[in-house]
Amino acid sequence: MWQQLFHTPRFHVQIVPDPACVELAGALKNVVALGAGFCDGCGYLGNTKAAIMRIGLKEMMRFCAMFYPGTQDSTWFESC
């Protein structure tokens, strides 16, 4: 119902059947964003920030798999 209501040619809505993973990803991404911001503030270059983001994504995936074993890895790449 929500998808039909909000989906337009300019706004794409996709239903993800993994609510625990979606909620955790929304919260944990803020920690990774802080790390990326610290890289900018300390004057580190783009490679350092990319490493923080890559390692952060892997850690988020491990965290969800450990505490919520039913999560799906494909959920992490829905918006990519």
Got the DSSP string for 2-53? HHHHH--SSS-----S-HHHHHHHHHHHHHHHHHHHHHHHTT--HHHHHHHH
Specify whether 49 is catalytic. Answer: no
Catalytic residue, candidates 28, 29, 48, 49: 29
Amino acid letter, residue 32:
V
Supply the residues annotated as catalytic: 29
